[in-house]
Amino acid sequence: MNDEMLDYLLATDSMDEFLGDKSRCPHCGNKLINIVYGMPTWKVGEKAKKGEIFLGGCTIYEGEMPKYHCNNCRRSYTKDLKRYIEEENNFEDEEEEY
């Protein structure tokens, strides 16, 4: 999926329809967000700061990588929502400068 398509789906709240369901965290029930891999654009970085998407990093490995992230319990799940890893949310330790 290209950045323009991702921006459109996020801006119009159509991501759930595009995915075909409203995925919920199996642990806490919170709505899951997509994990985006690769070098983020400025717009994608801003969406990550708002907690709308999760940055998965620039390196893509062989095998199944996490696809969804829960901002509430900080778990990133594989596509089948059965396996997860615990990790910090993007930008949560950074202080905003005014």
pLDDT of residue 98: 47
Please list the ranges in the chain whose pLDDT falls under 70: 1-2, 6, 8-22, 93-98
The DSSP letter of residue 42 is: H
Q: Are 76 and 87 a contacting pair, CB within 8 Å?
A: yes
* pTM for the structure as a whole: 0.70
Q: How far apart are CA 91 and CA 4, in angstroms?
A: 23
What pLDDT does residue 21 have? 57
Alpha-carbon torsion (33, 35, 5, 50), positive or negative: positive
